[in-house]
């Protein structure tokens, strides 16, 4: 009798454990996040990018609160992937509020997949972000200059899903909005001839940069592709840089990506790497002063003021003609060329069963909301 009782208890415990472990990440406590749904590409295209000068740099207090929020957020993601009932998503919401952020579960009606959507609730124009908890590639898509670099947000959303990437970060405030000059080094022909504080690619006190840093500082640091736009010409369709000060580095990631992109476009000679030869490409857009690139290449330096010749092999800065950003392949160029070249450059899918299935995955169920107590 005692043996039977013991076996009954053991069976009950085993069943409970199996049930808990079998709870999908999006079916458990993740449901305590408020819900937003829509077509991701259309949704990102509709995000506001104010131009009235309202941008505000992060205070040290808010920066600290945002980092606490990020730690809670990614801790909840990791816990939920193991057991959907263990992520402490109500605490994530509380820490988001303390950082003047909102965090939502976002259901993409095109792919049928759940993502995480975060946005600034203050008037200071800090970044939007989307996270795929079940990403297959540890890849971050960055869009710092929408709408100045028109259609980079749409392109970013398409790449985010097509590559099953981990994070998509999009600027909120227009890069030219703030009249104040950034204290970071560099010069530009845009925005009246100087970098503004609202230009998150050239200013390090922003949630855009803090999220980049957080993802870069992990034991398994992310790879980054930052999307930009240029007017270009038929002979200058793309200028690619690793964001170092190196003029010539045949092994650079920028040169390898350019070689990969050559296979997908009708005119390979119009694709330029800043590191492929001595001298500058036609438009000389080589991102030496980009603060995210500087940080990833050499985090020991001051990313705001100091360029570096050290190449991390994890940061790509891509300036693109409008044809490479759109969804029209009739001229031989479209966003899919960038997608395919990235797959060639970074084929490894080493997250969330990616070695078996590198796709975004099938549609997920829309479970009802849970309430935080």
In a domain, 156, yes or no: yes
What local confidence, expressed as pLDDT, does residue 366 receive?
A: 95
pLDDT tens digits for 220-255? 999 999 999 999 999 999 999 999 999 999 899 999
In a domain, 114, yes or no: yes
Q: Is the pLDDT of residue 83 over 60?
A: yes
In a domain, 76, yes or no: yes
Token pair belonging to 356: 């078996």
In a domain, 360, yes or no: no
Average pLDDT over the chain, rounded to an integer: 93
Summarize the confidence of residues 112-123 as an average pLDDT: 98
In a domain, 107, yes or no: yes
What local confidence, expressed as pLDDT, does residue 22 receive?
A: 73
What local confidence, expressed as pLDDT, does residue 270 receive?
A: 98
In a domain, 1, yes or no: no
In a domain, 253, yes or no: yes
Q: Is the pLDDT of residue 8 over 60?
A: no
pLDDT tens digits for 21-36? 578 999 999 999 999 9
pLDDT tens digits for 50-67? 999 999 999 999 999 999
Ordered strands of the 271-273 beta sheet: 35-38, 101-108, 113-120, 128-131, 167-170, 139-143, 223-229, 315-320, 238-241, 271-273
The CA angle 217-272-235, to the nearest 5 degrees, is 145
The residue segments making up the domain with residue 52 are: 24-345
pLDDT band at 373 (very low <50, low <70, confident <90, very high): confident
What is the pTM for the complete model shown? Answer: 0.93
Q: Which residue, 161, 148, 227, 155, is CA-closest to 195?
A: 148
In a domain, 89, yes or no: yes
pLDDT tens digits for 171-208? 999 999 999 999 999 999 999 999 999 999 999 999 99
Of the listed ranges 29-33, 110-114, 279-283, the one predicted with least confidence: 279-283
CB 118, CB 202: distance < 8 Å: no
pLDDT tens digits for 351-371? 999 999 999 999 999 999 999
Summarize the confidence of residues 136-157 as an average pLDDT: 98
What local confidence, expressed as pLDDT, does residue 10 receive?
A: 40
Cβ-proximal residues to 66 (8 Å cutoff; 6+ apart), any chain: 58, 99, 101, 207, 210
Q: What's the number of domains the chain is made of?
A: 1
């Amino acid at each position: 009798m005692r043996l039977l009782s013991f076996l009954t208890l053991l069976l009950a415990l085993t069943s409970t454990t199996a049930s808990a472990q079998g709870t999908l990440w999006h079916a458990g406590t993740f449901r305590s996040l408020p819900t937003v749904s829509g077509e991701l590409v259309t949704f990102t295209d509709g995000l506001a990018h104010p131009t009235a000068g309202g941008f505000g740099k992060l205070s040290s207090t808010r920066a600290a609160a945002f980092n606490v929020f990020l730690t809670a957020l990614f801790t909840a993601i990791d816990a939920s992937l193991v057991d959907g009932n263990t992520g402490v998503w109500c605490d994530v919401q509380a820490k988001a509020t303390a950082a003047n952020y909102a965090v939502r579960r976002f259901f993409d009606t095109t792919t049928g997949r759940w993502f995480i959507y975060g946005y600034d609730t203050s008037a200071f124009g800090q970044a939007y972000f989307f996270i795929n908890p079940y990403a297959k590639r540890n890849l971050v898509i960055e869009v710092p200059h929408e709408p100045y670099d028109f259609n980079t947000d749409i392109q970013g959303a398409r790449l985010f899903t097509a590559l099953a990437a981990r994070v998509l970060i999009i600027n909120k405030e227009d890069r030219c909005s703030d009249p104040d000059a950034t204290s970071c080094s560099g010069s530009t022909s845009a925005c009246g001839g100087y970098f503004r504080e609202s230009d998150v690619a050239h200013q390090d006190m922003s949630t855009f940069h803090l999220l980049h840093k957080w993802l870069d500082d992990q034991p398994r640091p992310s790879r980054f592709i930052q999307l930009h736009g240029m007017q270009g010409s038929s002979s200058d369709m793309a200028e690619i840089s690793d964001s170092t000060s190196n003029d010539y580095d045949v092994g650079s990631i920028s040169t390898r990506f350019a070689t990969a992109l050559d296979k997908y476009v009708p005119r390979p000679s119009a694709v330029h790497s800043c590191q492929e030869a001595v001298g500058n490409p036609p438009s000389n857009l080589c991102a030496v002063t980009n603060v995210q690139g500087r940080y990833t290449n050499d985090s020991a330096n001051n990313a705001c003021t100091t360029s570096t010749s050290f190449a991390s092999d994890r940061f790509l800065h891509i300036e693109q003609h409008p044809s490479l950003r759109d969804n029209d392949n009739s001229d031989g160029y479209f966003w899919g060329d960038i997608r395919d070249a990235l797959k060639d450059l970074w084929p490894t899918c080493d997250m969330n069963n990616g070695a078996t299935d590198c796709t975004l995955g099938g549609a997920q169920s829309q479970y009802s909301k849970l309430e935080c107590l």
